[in-house]
Amino acid sequence: MKLQNKILLITGGASGIGRLMCRMALEKGARAVVVWDVNQSNMDAVVEEFSSLGKLYTFQVDVTSAEQIAATHAQMQQEGIEVDVLINCAGIVRGNATFDKQSLKDIDLTMAVNALAPMYVAREFLPAMIARNEGHICNIASAAGLIANPRMSVYAASKWAAIGWSESMRIELQESKSRVRVTTVMPYYISTGMFEGVQSRFLPILKPEKVARKVLRAIERNKIMLGTPLGYHFIRICQAILPLRWFDVFAKMLGVYSTMDNFTGRKA
């Protein structure tokens, strides 16, 4: 779906690749971009920086709250804002502890933001898209959703869930001959600060601008899946053909299993 003259909703659009997609969508001639985020001061900064590029709406929404999602959607309907493209981009990672040291609070929050929230938000906007027989839902998952890494078990679990759900929904729409499209995105580490401290030996850590541009291009080209960088697909092929214990040796050799060792994350 071409973004020109379309209305986009970007969750987590106040930071990182969401913020960049906000700018780029306006530059591409989107009619409006709606940002949902918990971080009000970052949203204010987005408005200050990008409102000269086009129409921007911001709503402070915690996407783990079905009530807040429904109330904000109702408010948008009253204001006549109809979403053509939904990008589920809000995401979190809670430290690099091994699973035995995970708190219930962190497990619940990670699953709520990364796995459940995209479903809650999509459930709110999908029926109208189906009725119009037009629309696009893009879910930002992660490379960790298909290749598990130590020290991010809950994050990986949340992204595996997001990918499975996103793909199943895509197939449902395809089978029903709907023109509503779904794109699932699986990027490797991106230098936004979310994964500050990670080290990567084989695959390059991605530049946020490049990923943001690729995601919007994938939506415009109705791509089903976007895995990036290219080397990620090579690792996936090896994962498919090698016995798992051999793959472990291979992944260790590439340094994949030690990427999270020096993770610090974003300092608040």
Ligand X SMILES: NC(=O)c1ccc[n+]([C@@H]2O[C@H](COP(=O)([O-])OP(=O)(O)OC[C@H]3O[C@@H](n4cnc5c(N)ncnc54)[C@H](O)[C@@H]3O)[C@@H](O)[C@H]2O)c1
Binding site for ligand X (CB under 6 A): 11-12, 14-18, 37-39, 42, 61-64, 89-92, 113, 140, 142, 187, 189-190, 192, 194-195
Q: Which is nearer to ligand X, 112 or 242 (CB)?
A: 112
104 or 241, CB closer to ligand X?
Answer: 104
Q: How far is the CB of 222 from ligand X (least distance, A)?
A: 21
Nearest distance from C-beta of residue 133 to ligand X, angstroms: 28
In angstroms, give the least distance from the CB of 117 to ligand X: 6
Q: Is 159 helix (H, G, I), strand (E, B) or coil?
A: helix
**Cα dist. 96→155, 161, 223 in Å?**
10, 19, 32
Using Cβ positions, the residue closest to ligand X within the complex turns out to be 16
Residue closer to ligand X (CB basis): 29 or 204: 204
Q: For the chain, how far is it from start to end, CA to CA, in angstroms?
A: 36
Long-range pairs of 188-192 with CB within 8 A, sequence gap ≥ 24: 188/143, 188/228, 188/229, 188/232, 189/143, 189/259, 190/16, 190/17, 192/15, 192/16, 192/17
Q: Are 68 and 62 in contact (CB under 8 A)?
A: yes
Cβ atoms 90, 45 nearer than 8 A: no
Cis link prior to 229 (omega < 30° from 0)?
yes
- The span from the CA of 10 to the CA of 16, in Å, is 12
Which of residues 95 and 134 has its CB atom nearest to ligand X in the complex? 95
**What's the closest the beta carbon of residue 170 comes to ligand X, in angstroms?**
18
| Catalytic residue IDs | 155
